[in-house]
Amino acid sequence: MIRLLGYRLVQAGLVALMVGVLTFVLVRALPGDMAFRIAAGRYGYDWVDAAAAAAVRAELGLDRPALAALGQWLWDLVRFDLGRSLVSGEPVIDEIRHQLGHSLQLAAAAVVLSLLLGPPLGVLAGLRPGGLLDRGLLSAALVARALPHFVIGILLVMVVAVQLRWLPAAGHGTVAHTVLPALTLAICLAAVSSRVARDAMAAVAASPYYAFGRTKGLGEGILFLRHGLRNVGVPVVAYQGVQFVYLIEGVVVVETLFAWPGIGHALVHAIVARDVPMIQGTALVMGLMFVLLNAGVDLLCHVIDPRRRAA
């Protein structure tokens, strides 16, 4: 366990390193006088003079050799000194604090919704492999998996918001605003988790220990509760870690589609506006979120799977 968490810690370090190096390359690749732009971002264009730009240049190490500058850049990152946004001039950390809350709210709603949809349906399908529900669910999962997040979002907007006028198409604030973006993400997640649950259930139901439980005299309900639930749960939870990749990717696109003021939306804006400190901050936080969520999955697996505790 300690080893696993240690691995996640190393992974977090790697995320910071990757984001740091890539954004450093980004700064060096940008055209124009970077220092002037950053100084302008910090103090506003009216107050920028050559001296301020020079100060920034020195501070960012743009006048120094690349390797030394890279070292300084990464050192700032390690101290979580993310600088100020070039667009708003606010400290990046403050902006992200707001956005992260919105994103987490959306992501949590999506995960809960997907867990209510995917695994229960998958278990039912896995109990009768090849049955009507199984085949129907496979087709549905194929279709959902073949559509990018934003396309599912567009289709939901076209049908639910525009044609039926049941829910608002975009924006933020009320529960009604949360439904469509969360549902969009949840459908994508459930398409996968239903298949994982289905395969796990089918494998458990065909396993010798399930058969032995039956011949021991256990009824089907007790059998599922005592021998089905945990054995299906372990792979479903473990796979949730992989699914967080889709979740993070989905957050970027779905937030943009629904104008949700989250961190993914902010990242896209920052890229369009070439706001390097914001790009670095949002990408870093999203990467760290991914690692943190995976560490959570590790812990959860540890709790529900006694084999891991014993090992």
Which residues inside 92-131 make contact with other proteins, applying CB under 8 A? Answer: 129-130
Is 11 among the residues that bind other proteins (CB under 8 A)? yes
Q: Of 53 and 260, which has the nearer Cβ to other proteins? A: 260
Q: Of 53 and 234, which has the nearer Cβ to other proteins? A: 234
Binding letters toward other proteins, positions 59-98, x by CB under 8 A: ----------------------------------------
Query: By CB under 8 A, which span of 33-41, 51-59, 95-103, 203-211 interacts with other proteins?
Result: 203-211
CA–CA gap between residue 148 and residue 114 (Å, rounded)? 16
CA–CA gap between residue 267 and residue 177 (Å, rounded)? 21
Is 218 among the residues that bind other proteins (CB under 8 A)? yes
Q: Of 182 and 196, which has the nearer Cβ to other proteins? A: 196
Cβ-based neighbour number of residue 8 at 10 Å: 18
- Torsion, Cα of 82, 86, 88, 93 (10° steps): -10
Q: What is the DSSP letter of 146?
A: T
Query: By CB under 8 A, which span of 49-57, 87-95, 150-158, 176-184 interacts with other proteins?
Result: 150-158
CA–CA gap between residue 9 and residue 5 (Å, rounded)? 6
**Tokens matching residue 62:** 């743009």
- Least distance (Å) from other proteins to the CB of residue 63? 21
Q: Which amino acid is at 278?
A: M
- Window 23 to 42, contacts with other proteins (CB under 8 A): 23, 25-26, 29
Signed CA dihedral, 148, 149, 154, 156: sign only: positive
- State the residue for tokens 């980004």: 26
- Window 253 to 282, contacts with other proteins (CB under 8 A): 253, 256-257, 267-268, 271-272, 274, 279
Q: Of 57 and 198, which has the nearer Cβ to other proteins? A: 198
Number of amino acids touching other proteins (CB under 8 A): 82
CA–CA gap between residue 35 and residue 54 (Å, rounded)? 7
Q: What is the DSSP letter of 122?
A: H
